[in-house]
Amino acid sequence: MTQVTHNSDFISALDKDGYLRDHTAWTEQIALQLAELEGITLTDRHWRVIKLLRSYYARTDIAPAMRPLVKLVKTEFGQEIGSSALLMGLFGGSPAKVAAKISGLPRPTNCI
């Protein structure tokens, strides 16, 4: 696992809920830091979802909630990753929120 450090600049770049304040400041190193804060070690499957989310957000300016996220991932990658259960396995109990957070995106609309 890559060891990451959390300096004060990194912490101040996050809002009170741990989302990156400026999505354009996102880097893969920041994703590693955000994932570590969530207790997640990023795998190839994580990166595929993260890159898909960032691409989707760049086109639509929307961080999708759970149902649209599942549909998006299923459309792009098929059943391999595109189910609620598999996304929960990757990103925990709130996959849409956690995936958006690690992707450097705002909190998804309609997510509690």
Catalytic residues: 111
d(CA 105, CA 96) in angstroms, rounded, equals: 11
Q: Which are the contacts of 17, defined by CB distance < 8 A and separation ≥ 6? A: 101, 107
Q: How many CA atoms lie within 13 A of 58 on its CB side?
A: 9
